[in-house]
Chain A
């Protein structure tokens, strides 16, 4: 209640001072681990364990990064990750957008119940279906291939269906109706009228699918057994096992490898910041 006794100007000053203090303190707590990671990744092995720790390594040991990508076949992991992520992005986008179009623009019996069911499956924990799916994929001979990670993307994903449907509903139907009168097929309207107008939602779906698939750990852990099939995320865990198992743990190399895995995420974040934030708040907006 003290703030009320101060003059309005002093109150504002005190409050913005406290805000800055809070931001800077928390900011430091959020930034320090990253700075330490970067610093460790460029330090020599003895320097990593030196006490007190020297934050600015000199010289900079860039060879940690070379070692990080040659210790295990990282280029192969990168290729594997791309080979999984790219089709998943394309398949998720098109299947979800087709389904979203169906829910947004057609009247048919059972539609609303079906859409409610679709939303409800978002809350279903994956553990309930994981074991039977694994058994089926094993029977099909798909274990240690990318198929269990890619094929499910062909059937649409509830969250993206929801997101795209909401966006489609906000687009006026005039040009679609005109095209329909001109004899254009529904598929054609979806492709050449609706999708181009839904670009922001499309971008959000692609960004989220990329982040989800690129960083997925559980799927590759279950389905990819041989090391040469591993994704970057799974490979990083393999590297952890190998490095921790050796005499002196090369934390500098592990930090270099971790940073390399994080780079695409950070770059994408800066390129597509607004799509990230939109997708997140859209999910909460219901």
Chain B
């Protein structure tokens, strides 16, 4: 082997070893586990497709699937709209840009547990700021996390507060839109709305796709906020009123680490993996013709 080859492999070897030990190996083992009845203590026992069959008739699995879908369908579009709006505002030539950018961005770089506690208090039906504000407007606020109908919207609302991270990505893309293009269109008589849809949006479509996919992947894996905010005092009580916030990863966590059904939980993990892969692939496919990549990058 040439010296350069050997040295190259040597330098990348930490990642290769890590990939084999921490990713590929565990993945294969997890696939195997999903066909076994394994608990933490007993050795795995082959049961074929039994876990997947059980999943297909497990009402809680369907509940978690539905909850996750609803959360993603509400949260992802709302998050994209809000972050795009924030980015458009921040891209305008105004004073105090740095201040507002920091203000919008800061909630997204913080601690999810601390944020969850803040929102638990904000969403408190009796004393929370949110319902106090609604009362001020003459509206009776809902019970939020204590209500089956409002628990998921409450978590979506909290997630919107961290839209600043996506906004930064949109902002970077907006700043890359050549000014000559929009100016030329303005001279040709295109109004601001028309300019946005025919020039700006196509130009930032790669950022849109990126944010869509990251938002989707994040929403499908939502865990911490539901675990902290809808988990009462007893361990195992997570999931909210009538399991309204039992999301897939929360269900997986309960199965694996509270009930120690490692085989069943592994099957659940693979279903989640398939779901995420399918959603990502779908987003890429839908985007293929619509996303504009600049042909000549400097």
Contacts and interface: CB of A to CB of B under 8 A. Distances in A.
Q: Which of B26, B102, B112 has the most CB of A within 10 A?
A: B26
A3 B192 contact: yes
A78 interface: no
B217 A123 contact: yes
Interface stretch (A28-36, A58-66, A69-77, A196-204): A28-36
A85 interface: no
Interface of A is mostly: helix
B89 A36 contact: no
B266 A101 contact: no
A281 B114 CA distance: 25
A255 B15 contact: no
B165 interface: yes
B29 to A, nearest CB: 4
Nearest to A106: B8
B56 interface: no
B122 A108 contact: no
Contacts, number: 255
Main secondary structure of the interface of B (DSSP, over half): helix
Given A161-B15, A269-B109, A240 B228 contact: yes
A218 B113 CA distance: 10
A37 interface: yes
A173 interface: no
Contacts of A27: 100, 103-104
A132 B221 contact: no
B232 interface: yes
Contacts of B191: 1, 3-4
Interface string A259-284: 10110011001100100110011011
Interface string A119-156: 00101110111111111101000000000000010111
Contact of B7 (A4, A152, A186, A269): A186
A21 to B, nearest CB: 10
B189 A281 contact: no
A78 B39 CA distance: 34
A282 to B, nearest CB: 9
B257 A222 contact: yes
Interface residues of A, number: 96
Interface centre among B6, B102, B109 (most CB of A within 10 A): B109
Nearest to A28: B103
Contacts of A251: 121, 124, 127
A265 B110 CA distance: 6
A155 B129 contact: no
Interface in B98-135: 100, 102-107, 109-115, 117-122, 124, 127, 129, 132
Interface string A224-249: 00000000011011001100110000
Contacts of B233: 241, 244-245
B121 A261 contact: no
A161 B93 CA distance: 36
B262 A236 contact: no
Nearest to A12: B93
B33 A132 contact: yes
A151 B262 CA distance: 23
A102 B8 contact: yes
A109 B92 contact: no
Contact of A98 (B14, B85, B117, B168): B14
24 contacts: A23-B89, A23-B96, A23-B100, A26-B86, A26-B89, A27-B103, A52-B132, A98-B14, A99-B12, A129-B22, A131-B256, A132-B30, A156-B18, A233-B111, A233-B114, A236-B114, A258-B111, A261-B114, A262-B111, A262-B114, A265-B111, A281-B172, A283-B210, A284-B210
Interface of A: 1, 3-4, 15-16, 19-20, 22-23, 26-27, 30-33, 36-37, 40, 48-49, 51-53, 95, 98-99, 101-103, 106-109, 111, 114, 117-118, 121, 123-125, 127-136, 138, 152, 154-156, 158, 161, 186, 190, 211, 214-215, 217-218, 221-222, 233-234, 236-237, 240-241, 244-245, 251, 254-255, 257-259, 261-262, 265-266, 269-270, 273, 276-277, 280-281, 283-286
Q: Which 3 A-B pairs have the closest CB atoms?
A: A155-B18, A102-B11, A106-B8
